Amino acid sequence: AQKITQTQPGMFVQEKEAVTLDCTYDTSDQSYGLFWYKQPSSGEMIFLIYQGSYDEQNATEGRYSLNFQKARKSANLVISASQLGDSAMYFCAMRAFQIQGAQKLVFGQGTRLTINP
């Protein structure tokens, strides 16, 4: 069964520093997708970045990049130049399967990131 593991329950980082949030996944599928979402204290789930299993380049979206290491089954999120507004829960997710147009996302436990001024 597909599984996502985020081993860092909480992280504290100084403002303007870069931060890496760890995510490892387990799947026997050759084709899969990996997602990162941000959940601020207000509660909404905000999509950040996507990486496909066949993508040769690491995904980037502004200050977010995904360090995809397929052999290690890891998909770490890197946030450059962290800002106070980056303080939130971060979830890594994997598309476990897709059937008739619907996809099942499996989520990790989340990492609570706190940016200190």
Partner 1 sequence: DTAVSQTPKYLVTQMGNDKSIKCEQNLGHDTMYWYKQDSKKFLKIMFSYNNKELIINETVPNRFSPKSPDKAHLNLHINSLELGDSAVYFCASSQPASGPGDTQYFGPGTRLTVL
Residues binding partner 1 (CB under 8 A): 31, 33, 35, 37, 39, 43-47, 50, 52, 89, 91, 93, 95, 98-105, 107, 109-110
Strands 111-116 and 10-14: parallel
Complex with partner 1: residue 46 or 81, whichever CB lies closer: 46
Inter-residue contact 37 to 47 (CB < 8 Å): yes
Q: What is the nearest approach in angstroms of partner 1 to the Cβ of residue 114?
A: 15
Q: What is the nearest approach in angstroms of partner 1 to the Cβ of residue 26?
A: 17
Complex with partner 1: residue 56 or 117, whichever CB lies closer: 56
